[in-house]
Amino acid sequence: MEVPLTIKETQEALKKRKINCVDLVDYYLDRIEKNDEKINSVLTVSKEKAYEKARKNDNLIKELGDRAFIEFPLIGVCVIHKDMFLTRGIRTTAASKVLEDYIPSYSATVVDRMDKAGCITLGKANQDAWAHGSSGENSDFGPTKNPWNLEYVPGGSSSGSAAALASNFCLVTTGTDTCGSIRLPANYCGVCGLKPTYGLVSRYGVIAMASSLDSMGHFARNVDDVKRILEVTKGPDGYDSTVSSCYREFRVKDFVKIGVPREFFGEGLEVEVRRSIEKAIETFERMGHQVVEVGLPHTEYAIAAYYIIQPAEVSSNLARYDGIRYGRGRDFFGDEAKRRIMLGSYVLSSGYYDAYYLKAMKVRSVIIKEVEDVFEQVDLLIAPVSPSLPFQLGEKTSDPLKMYLTDIYAATANLAGIPSLAIPSGFSDNGLPLGFQLMGPRFSENVIFDLAEKYHREINYKPSIAEL
Ligand code: GLN
């Protein structure tokens, strides 16, 4: 049996009774069981709950007919959640041994809303422990492999979410993006990944990494699916005071002005990545959009500011895992978490606060202003997600600084709180996924989606899955 690769096609098949929800769960769980040993993308499978929900959905479809698809817009959508999202009654570990046996008593808003919209949760995805990492290699439960080539990393920290999707273990996945953790794995695994505007999707019930930067997003195989999920997850829930429903909707125009920030195309950008984006730019021009070069001169300080602000917030957020309230004791923290707790405590301590934390916050303000100014000139920005193609497992693990530099093109969107969508554009000569990110002003998701969809139509993009 084959299953459809998008929400629209899956729901059409369900409507026509070509398939039912129990069949879908059968298919995905069987595929996980047979293949995940080599990918290591799934930490927990929630088999019983999945079947229970599938049967419930099948009954709803029987009873309500097509109305079920209106009342439950994500009915039949099988999802694997990143293990940062609390899932009631399903183990949630953040891929850390500290939480190895933790079973939450409530679900994150994102999980809850997707559940209520008809999603079927199949399980939880592997990731870098506490979302610290860019390759998936920091998981306490072993690294995830890139399904397109098992010797390469899938990108992190939402490694399992992207790898599971590219492996066709489910239809969609969720992720968190504090500095690229959705966009990078999406880029490395050939799927779409959305980091929404900070303040669009509630962080309630998601294990906090760095609270002023954390964005709750998702992965899917095409832009239409990304849109459908955001429709369900966005908006205030009363539990996250940074989430607002008061924002200006952007008008979608036929033709947009796209900025190419020159600082994102400097030294260190791999030739093949650069070429692929140049090709995308040519496509946009051919489609009639205007493309202009713009400057974001403080981009070079973004990653330095991020690696001060983020550990500062991490050191505060991880203080609650003291072995008294949740999970196991502090000695179960891995090296990367310890490194960040120490760095964070240092930059916040008296005598160093002004020199490091305060200065980084000032740089952040400058970057925010610069980003605001650039969106006075252009509608959207196009940029690489990462300076390189997926790298080999083990290539950067001994050099944390080198690993941190993987995020140089990701940091701007998180520091400025703007939305960014990573989309696939094809494959490299050696069969690894290529793509780019489109960024826009705060709450401009609809403009980004529109352009991304038009681009995919233009290049005749078809979602594909890795052969396992
Ligand atoms: N690679 C970044 C880090 O390790 C990104 C983390 C994230 O987005 N969760 O901090």
Residues linked to residue 175 through DSSP beta bridges, in sequence order? 217
What is the pLDDT at residue 245? 87
pLDDT tops 90 at residue 403: no
* High-pLDDT (> 70) share of the chain, %: 100
CB atoms < 10 A from the CB of 343, how many?
A: 18
Q: Which residues contact 461 (CB under 8 A, 6 or more apart)?
A: 222, 424, 425, 455
What is the pLDDT at residue 402? 82
Q: Which residues contact 307 (CB under 8 A, 6 or more apart)?
A: 343, 404
- Structure tokens belonging to residue 62: 């029987």
Ligand 1 centre and the CA of 179: distance in Å? 5
Q: How confident is the model at residue 400 (pLDDT cuts 50, 70, 90)?
A: confident
- Structure tokens belonging to residue 378: 């252009």
Cα 237 to its chain centre, rounded Å, is: 21
Atom of ligand 1 nearest to the CA of 307: 10
Q: Whole-angstrom Cα distance, residue 14 to residue 22?
A: 11
Ligand 1 centre and the CA of 154: distance in Å? 14
Ligand 1 centre and the CA of 138: distance in Å? 11
Q: What is the pLDDT of residues 236-289, one digit of tens each?
A: 999 999 998 888 889 999 999 999 999 999 988 999 999 999 999 999 999 999
**The residue to which tokens 């080999």 are assigned:** 392
Q: Whole-angstrom Cα distance, residue 3 to residue 103?
A: 31
Q: What is the mean pLDDT of residues 304-329?
A: 95
What is the pLDDT at residue 267? 86
What is the pLDDT at residue 190? 98
**Amino acid, single-letter form, for residue 182:** I
Atom of ligand 1 nearest to the CA of 403: 1
Residue nearest atom 5 of ligand 1, based on CA coordinates: 179
Task: With 0.95 as the threshold, say if the pTM is over it.
Answer: yes
pLDDT tops 90 at residue 1: no
**Amino acid, single-letter form, for residue 168:** N
- Structure tokens belonging to residue 249: 């909707």
CA-wise closest residue to 146 among 129, 130, 128, 165:
165
Q: How confident is the model at residue 106 (pLDDT cuts 50, 70, 90)?
A: very high
User: In order of start, what are the domains of the chain with their CATH numbers?
Assistant: 7-299+364-458 (3.90.1300.10)
Average pLDDT, the chain: 97
Residue 181 known to be catalytic = yes
Q: Ligand 1 pocket by C-beta < 6 Å: which residues?
A: 131-134, 157, 176-181, 209, 310, 407
Q: What is the pLDDT of residues 34-64, one digit of tens each?
A: 999 999 999 999 999 999 999 999 999 999 9
pLDDT tops 90 at residue 291: yes
Q: What is the mean pLDDT of residues 6-12?
A: 98
Atom of ligand 1 nearest to the CA of 182: 8
Which of these is catalytic: 49, 82, 124, 454? Answer: 82
Q: What is the pLDDT of residues 381-399, one digit of tens each?
A: 999 999 999 999 999 998 8
CA-wise closest residue to 73 among 109, 114, 112, 117:
117
Does residue 126 contact residue 93 with C-beta atoms inside 8 Å? Answer: no
> CA angle, 137 as apex, 133 and 141 as ends, to 5°?
115
Ligand 1 centre and the CA of 292: distance in Å? 30
Across 231-362, the runs of DSSP E, i.e. the strands, are 257-261, 290-294
User: Residue 104: enclosing H or E segment and its boundaries?
Assistant: none
What is the pLDDT at residue 246? 87
Residue 82 known to be catalytic = yes
